[in-house]
Each structure stands twice: as structure tokens, then as C-alpha cells.
Amino acid sequence: MYTVFNPGIFSFLLVTLITPFVIFFFKKMNVIQPIRKELPPDHQQKKGTPLMVGIVFYIGVFVALFYSTSNFMLLLCAIFVAFGFIGFLDDSWKAVKKDPGGVSGKTKLIFQFIFTFIFLFFLIHYFEFDATIHITKEFSIIMPLFLYVPLISLFIVGSANAINFTDGMDGLLTNVAIPTFIFFFLTSSHIEIQILSIALVGCLLGFFIFNIYPAKGFMGDTGSLAIGGILVFFSVIEHVEILVPLLFIIYFAEQFSVIIQVYFYKMTGKRIFRMSPIHYHFSIKYGWSENKIVTIFGFISWLGCGLAYVYWYLFM
């Protein structure tokens, strides 16, 4: 087991050493995060913070490949890089155009669906992946491919974007994602998923040093979409979709707060939340500090992943 921890240790050390240089470089090149005007004053103070620092997470990909170059590991790393590439395009647009909106949502969704179909094709045709939803050890739902592929594609893209929504405060996604990766490290039957999970935990811990409030750099969509893409594919590959409401409890809370806010406003002209995603609501309405929100949301994520692990251990 010690050997399996090594990718995390090496990733942590490398990210800790390299991130300050990445932050300095992006600041020098004026690759900075434009701040939305409607955000509260404490967020306006973050103007000038380097963007795309999540590129250091690719250190974890290289570390994982150092430990395994199997075809399955190559596929996992390709998933991470592909979703990260979409985020990179978005961040590049924000930095060059000084537009906090980035690339249009439609464009990002098209890319995400294309990559999702491609990776599902490889999983099904080359890695003996079956279209099964596991409920317990004794009970599973086997779906025909013509139904499974479109449904699971919607699930993958929707969940990846839910994770992306969580990257809105200093250290928030970093703190919330760590227990999710640890769950897959502990439960996966694939050594490649174990290696990549612990490598990315090391990356997140190293990045957290520079991302905790007040952040010296933001991961950007370059990091958050890559994290979102790989976590959702982990859940599909491991057939733990039934546990996703627990594993992704914070991510879904963030996403549904946006959906509910938009729908309710269109219907009534009023808002349920002071601002969405929901982490802004706690900041504006209740005056919670970023550190308090990050700590509480992180605790909820640990709790959700802990309960998911108990269900997995007892029933799966």
C-alpha cells in the first residue's frame, strides 16, 4: 500500500515547488481572472489574481504515467486532459478578452459531449465496459447500449459542470474534491484509478497551499473541468452511480441552486437565493467568510463520501 501512496507524495512535492513559478509566470504574462461586476466587494479585491494555475494538476498526470503506462491509464489521462483542454480554451478567452463569461456555454457543451461519446466508445469497445448500473451486490440494472449511452452522456456532462460550478471561492473545489478522490482511491478495483486518484490528491494538497484564502492563484476551468470530467468518469467506470448523490452532494447543491434560481426568476421575477451558486448566498446573506464556507462545505463533502463508503462496503 505504501507504494500506492508514492504518486501522491511525489505530486504534492512537485506541485508545491512548481506552483510559485507558474503563478509568477501567469502574473507576468497578465493571465489574470476578470471579476464579474455583480460579485460582492471582497471578490472585487481579487482582481489581478493569476488564472489557469490548475495547469499544475497535469503534473499528477505525468506522475501517474510514470507509475503505469497501461492502455487504461492512457485513457484515464486522456479524459483528464480533454476536459482540461475545454477549460483551457475558456480560461484563455477570459484572459485575452478580459471577459469573465469566457467561451459560450453552448460551445463548451458541444466539446464535452463530443469527448464523452469518444471516451465511452473506447470504454465499451476496447475495455470490456458493460452498460450496468449497480445498486447492490445482488441487484444491478443492465441497460441496452442505445439507451445507456445517451443517458450516461447527459449524466457525465451535467455532473462535470456541477463540479465546475463549485470552483467559485478560494480553496472551495480543492477542499471538496479531495475526499471524492480518496473515495475512489480506497474503493477502486483498478490500480490505474488508485494511482491517478492519489496523484491528484497530492496535486490538490500542494495547490491548496497557494489557493487558500486569500488565493495567490486560481485553478480556473483548466483545473475544475479536468477534475469534473475525471471524477464523473471514475463513478461510471466503477459503476457507483447510485452513490453519486452522496459523493457529489456539494457539486449538485451548487448546480441545482443555479437551476432553481434561474427557473424561479423566469417564473416569478424574484430570486430564492441572494446569489447563485449557493456558496455566494451564504456569503452575502449570512456574512460567512470564505474560510467558513470552505470549511463547512468541505466537511459536508467528507461526510457524504464517508456515508458513500459505508454503503459501498456493506452493499456493493
Residue 32, phi then psi, degrees to nearest 5: -125, 160
Q: Which residues, in sequence order, are CB contacts of 77 under 8 Å at separation 6+?
A: 61, 64, 65, 196
| pLDDT score of 38 | 66
* Spatial separation of the C-alpha atoms in residues 26 and 8, rounded to whole Å: 25
pLDDT at 6: 95
Q: Cα separation of 87 and 2, whole Å?
A: 33
Residues at the binding site are: 164, 221
Contact 83, 229 (CB under 8 A): yes
pLDDT at residue 8, as a whole number: 97
What's the confidence (pLDDT) of residue 41? Answer: 65
Q: Where do the H-state alpha helices sit in 127-212?
A: 145-165, 172-187, 191-211
pLDDT score recorded for residue 87: 95
Binding site per annotation, positions for Mg(2+):
164, 221
Per-residue pLDDT tens digits of the chain, which is 316 residues long: 447 799 999 999 999 999 999 999 999 998 887 776 666 666 667 777 899 999 999 999 999 999 999 999 999 999 999 999 999 999 999 888 887 778 888 999 999 999 999 999 999 999 989 999 999 999 999 999 999 999 999 999 999 999 988 988 999 999 999 999 999 999 999 999 999 999 999 999 999 999 998 899 999 999 999 999 999 999 999 999 999 999 999 999 999 999 999 999 898 988 999 888 999 899 889 999 999 999 999 999 999 999 999 999 999 9
pLDDT for res 98 = 84
- What is the pLDDT, as a whole number, of residue 244? 97
| Per-residue exposure over 86-106, b if at least 16 CB sit within 10 Å of its own CB, e if not | bbbbbbbbbbeeeeeebbeee
